[in-house]
């Protein structure tokens, strides 16, 4: 997954009926698909009725759960907390006795009589940003009159004893709704009055239920080919500010570049991209970013972003999700492969799953000419700066293993920063040792051939294995900087490719100084203010902003704890030339800044080619960036 930007504001400090009793062996639960119904036409008070109908159980007690954690998120979601009015019914329609053991778990007694389970599901988008921890929005659910984000793990639960069973999922919706699904469709049935359609989907096992999201409602959907991959792009933009038409070209170019960079690795025939654009209303999601699946990704971004900044964010985000095809989707440990949705164990290798993925998503853009070398260097320095605000002495493997717990959880954001930089250093070391012939991508491709989607590696063995495939200097790097907590001196690695860091004037954005936030949130009062960094951001400084100025209003929107991430997600994408209107408060007095944005600069490090770089250094640089 990828969380963008605002970890440090609030989030990251924040972030068919069965008839009567049956008794033949044929209808035993273990031998039958679990039939589930999700009925969008019966939504009541923002809740959808769901029915889960397994075959017959031969045991007296069974356990039913909604996921506590879903794959790719590295945080507790507690989907059970969104379930109301749970009922276990026997074949005569009588309620069976059950016990709610914890927020995600129901124990059903007299299970031999169990016909089906029914409950109502609340959506997660509505309450995101409140005091209760909620699922990261790209893994969450949305129920509103014209849009349904069906991350199915939020609707359909599982029986502990039947995780390997196949599922049939029937979704009933108004006939005029657009529908897109990464899950295999079996058939469609239109109701007698012609008003509703029930689509029948099939999932091989519970994993496929969680791995294949759907979107229903008023959508803009288009399919197009990129080589041999069919891309299905579904966009929901509540105020029609963006559409498939305006975003398609960007996605097309990006996917083409990714395929060119990856080479032969990818075998996906269809890839679904779901883009949910959030408005400013109270029920809008607040966590922006995306979550990867094997053949799809769900992206949630603020709708108010300009076309240009939405495009560049989509390139960063969707490419990151697509590169997950390599890891963890094709190269992963047993913890990932045999994932426990209730009490998962975590692999030590987030440096690989998230770090390398983020690194590839950054590097391929310069490799394929989507960004200039200078733009690439700027991104690397932003990552170095952001990483410096997190714990630079924390062992990455230890953090990864304990990612749900403190203090590790608070450093999760570093997987996209230092994690990516770990990937960069490994890449440069391998390029140097192989005279430019190999890099971390080729090593990962070798691992993908050896392991692949169906064969996990042993968690404790993979670093040794990579070392055996490569060089002793790789072992030293892992020991010191991935397993060990020694901070990395990036200059050493830049020097190998003839780059040097110099102080200079660096162009930045209006929320950060080259990766360092210039605003902070007060958790107690929910107010947001500039911090000490603001005077080193030329636009704000010239506009008279000062540290501790409270930011009350941006372009007519009054800031609150609830909308802060969405509003600053928009500010993050501001481009010079745009007219802005900001209301600040200093010592009880209002100060209004009404201006046209000019490019903004901060003082910081700049990475550039050393004038004395040798031919060897230059050719290594070329192998690293363009190899």
CB 74 within 8 A of CB 139: no
**DSSP bridge pairs for 100:** 106
Residue number with CB closer to Zn ion (38 or 70): 70
Residue number with CB closer to Zn ion (1 or 6): 1
Structure tokens at 35: 């039939």
| Candidate segments 136-144, 166-174, 204-212, 348-356, binder of Zn ion by CB under 5 A | 348-356
The residue among 567, 574, 579 whose CA lies nearest residue 278 is 567
Residue number with CB closer to Zn ion (348 or 354): 354
Residue number with CB closer to Zn ion (2 or 242): 2
Give the shortest CB-363-to-Zn ion separation in angstroms: 15
Residue number with CB closer to Zn ion (116 or 293): 293
Instruction: Return the residue nearest Zn ion (CB atom).
Output: 1
Give the shortest CB-294-to-Zn ion separation in angstroms: 13
x/- binding map, residues 302-341, to Zn ion, per CB under 5 A? ----------------------------------------
Residue number with CB closer to Zn ion (1 or 559): 1
Extract long-range pairs of 360-364: CB within 8 Å, 24+ residues apart. Answer: 360/261, 360/323, 360/326, 360/423, 360/441, 361/316, 361/319, 361/320, 361/323, 362/316, 362/420, 363/424, 363/427, 363/625, 364/257, 364/258, 364/261, 364/262, 364/319, 364/323
DSSP 150-170: E-GGGT--EEGGGTTS-EEEE
The residue among 501, 361, 359 whose CA lies nearest residue 430 is 359
Give the shortest CB-329-to-Zn ion separation in angstroms: 11
Residue number with CB closer to Zn ion (290 or 517): 290
Q: Are strands 83-90 and 98-102 parallel, antiparallel or unpaired?
A: unpaired
Give the shortest CB-353-to-Zn ion separation in angstroms: 7
Structure tokens at 589: 């007095």
Give the shortest CB-2-to-Zn ion separation in angstroms: 5
Stated as kind and residue range, the H or E segment containing 540 is helix 538-542
The residue among 302, 11, 282 whose CA lies nearest residue 126 is 282
Q: Is 352 in the site for Zn ion (CB under 5 A)?
A: no
User: In whole angstroms, what is the distance from residue 550 CA to residue 522 CA?
Assistant: 10
Give the shortest CB-322-to-Zn ion separation in angstroms: 10
| Candidate segments 29-37, 256-264, 349-357, 464-472, binder of Zn ion by CB under 5 A | 349-357
Residue number with CB closer to Zn ion (117 or 326): 326
Please list every residue from 353 through 392 that binds Zn ion, using CB under 5 A: 354
Q: Is 1 in the site for Zn ion (CB under 5 A)?
A: yes
Position of tokens 């080259």? 514
User: In whole angstroms, what is the distance from residue 538 CA to residue 527 CA?
Assistant: 23
Residue number with CB closer to Zn ion (147 or 212): 212
Structure tokens at 52: 């889960």
Residue number with CB closer to Zn ion (1 or 247): 1
Residue number with CB closer to Zn ion (316 or 354): 354
User: In whole angstroms, what is the distance from residue 595 CA to residue 601 CA?
Assistant: 17
Kindly determine how many residues on this chain lie close enough to bind Zn ion according to the rule CB under 5 A: 3
CB 360 within 8 A of CB 441: yes
Give me the helix-helix angle, 244-262 and 307-323, nearest 10°.
40
Give the shortest CB-116-to-Zn ion separation in angstroms: 36
The residue among 486, 491, 517, 488 whose CA lies nearest residue 605 is 491
Please list every residue from 2 through 41 that binds Zn ion, using CB under 5 A: 2
| Candidate segments 40-48, 230-238, 347-355, 466-474, binder of Zn ion by CB under 5 A | 347-355
Q: Is 300 in the site for Zn ion (CB under 5 A)?
A: no
Give the shortest CB-324-to-Zn ion separation in angstroms: 6
User: In whole angstroms, what is the distance from residue 380 CA to residue 15 CA?
Assistant: 23
Residue number with CB closer to Zn ion (2 or 153): 2
Please list every residue from 439 through 468 that binds Zn ion, using CB under 5 A: none
| Candidate segments 126-134, 215-223, 350-358, 423-431, binder of Zn ion by CB under 5 A | 350-358
- C-alpha distances (whole Å) from 624 to each of 183, 235, 345, 435, 439 are 38, 36, 35, 10, 8
Give the shortest CB-274-to-Zn ion separation in angstroms: 16
| Candidate segments 189-197, 208-216, 335-343, 346-354, binder of Zn ion by CB under 5 A | 346-354
Give the shortest CB-291-to-Zn ion separation in angstroms: 8
Give the shortest CB-616-to-Zn ion separation in angstroms: 35
User: In whole angstroms, what is the distance from residue 507 CA to residue 539 CA?
Assistant: 11
Give the shortest CB-23-to-Zn ion separation in angstroms: 48
User: In whole angstroms, what is the distance from residue 466 CA to residue 397 CA?
Assistant: 15
Residue number with CB closer to Zn ion (3 or 445): 3
Structure tokens at 550: 């409270």
Cβ contacts of residue 306 below 8 Å, gap of 6+? 573, 574, 575, 578
Give the shortest CB-383-to-Zn ion separation in angstroms: 15
The residue among 474, 470, 432 whose CA lies nearest residue 620 is 432
- C-alpha distances (whole Å) from 160 to each of 30, 63, 276, 333 are 11, 6, 32, 22
Residue number with CB closer to Zn ion (182 or 290): 290
| Candidate segments 88-96, 239-247, 351-359, 575-583, binder of Zn ion by CB under 5 A | 351-359
User: In whole angstroms, what is the distance from residue 468 CA to residue 470 CA?
Assistant: 5
SS3 584: strand
Give the shortest CB-184-to-Zn ion separation in angstroms: 25
Binding site for Zn ion (CB under 5 A): 1-2, 354
């Amino acid at each position: 997954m990828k969380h963008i930007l605002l970890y440090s504001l609030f989030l990251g400090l924040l972030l068919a009926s069965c008839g009567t009793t049956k008794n033949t062996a044929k209808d035993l639960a273990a031998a039958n698909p679990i039939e589930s119904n999700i009925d969008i036409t019966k939504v009541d008070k923002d809740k959808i009725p769901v029915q889960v109908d397994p075959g017959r159980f031969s045991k007296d007690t069974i356990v039913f759960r909604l996921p506590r954690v879903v794959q790719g998120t590295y945080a507790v979601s507690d989907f059970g907390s969104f379930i109301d009015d749970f009922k276990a019914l026997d074949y005569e329609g009588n309620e069976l006795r059950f016990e709610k053991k914890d927020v995600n778990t129901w124990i059903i007694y007299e299970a031999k009589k169990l016909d089906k389970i029914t409950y109502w599901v609340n959506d997660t988008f509505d309450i995101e940003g409140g005091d209760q921890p909620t699922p990261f929005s790209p893994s969450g659910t949305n129920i509103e009159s014209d849009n349904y984000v069906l991350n199915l793990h939020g609707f359909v639960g599982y029986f502990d004893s039947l995780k390997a069973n196949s599922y049939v999922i029937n979704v009933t919706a108004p006939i005029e709704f657009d529908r897109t699904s990464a899950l295999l469709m079996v058939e469609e049935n239109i109701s007698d009055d012609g008003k509703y359609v029930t689509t029948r989907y099939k999932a091989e096992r519970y994993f496929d239920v969680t791995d294949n999201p759907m979107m229903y409602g008023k959508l803009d959907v288009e399919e197009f080919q990129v080589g041999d991959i069919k891309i299905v792009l579904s966009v929901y933009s509540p105020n029609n500010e963006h559409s498939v038409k305006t975003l398609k070209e960007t996605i097309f170019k990006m996917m083409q570049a990714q395929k060119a960079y990856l080479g032969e690795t990818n075998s996906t025939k269809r890839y679904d991209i779901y883009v949910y654009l959030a408005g400013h209303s109270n029920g809008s999601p607040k966590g922006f970013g995306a979550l990867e699946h094997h053949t799809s990704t769900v992206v949630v971004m603020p709708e108010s972003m300009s076309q240009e900044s939405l495009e560049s964010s989509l390139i960063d985000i969707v490419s990151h999700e697509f590169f997950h095809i390599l890891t963890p989707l094709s190269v992963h440990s047993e913890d990932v492969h045999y994932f426990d949705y209730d009490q998962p164990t975590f692999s030590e290798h987030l440096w690989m799953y998230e770090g390398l993925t983020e690194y590839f998503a950054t590097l391929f853009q310069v490799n394929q000419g989507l960004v200039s070398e200078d733009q690439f260097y700027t991104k690397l320095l932003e990552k170095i700066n952001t990483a410096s605000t997190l714990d630079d002495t924390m062992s990455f493997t230890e953090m990864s293993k304990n990612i749900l717990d403190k203090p590790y959880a608070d450093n999760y954001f570093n997987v996209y920063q230092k994690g990516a930089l770990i990937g960069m250093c490994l890449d440069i070391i391998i390029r140097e040792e192989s005279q430019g012939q190999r890099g971390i991508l080729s090593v990962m491709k070798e691992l993908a051939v050896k392991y692949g989607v169906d064969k996990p590696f042993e968690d404790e063995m993979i670093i040794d294995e990579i070392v055996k495939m490569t060089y002793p200097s790789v072992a030293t790097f892992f020991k010191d900087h991935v397993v060990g907590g020694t901070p990395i001196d990036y200059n050493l690695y830049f020097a190998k490719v003839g780059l040097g860091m110099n102080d200079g004037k660096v162009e930045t954005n209006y929320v950060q100084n080259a990766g360092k936030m210039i605003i902070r949130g007060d958790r107690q009062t929910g107010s947001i203010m500039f911090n000490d960094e603001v005077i080193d951001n030329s636009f704000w400084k010239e506009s008279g902003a000062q540290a501790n100025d409270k930011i009350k209003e941006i372009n007519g929107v009054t800031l609150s704890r609830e909308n802060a991430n969405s509003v600053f997600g928009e500010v993050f994408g501001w481009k010079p030339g745009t007219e802005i209107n900001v209301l600040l408060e200093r010592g009880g007095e209002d100060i209004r800044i009404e201006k046209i944005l000019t490019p903004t600069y901060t003082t910081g490090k700049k990475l550039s080619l050393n004038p004395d770089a040798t031919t060897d250094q230059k050719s290594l640089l070329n192998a690293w960036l363009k190899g």
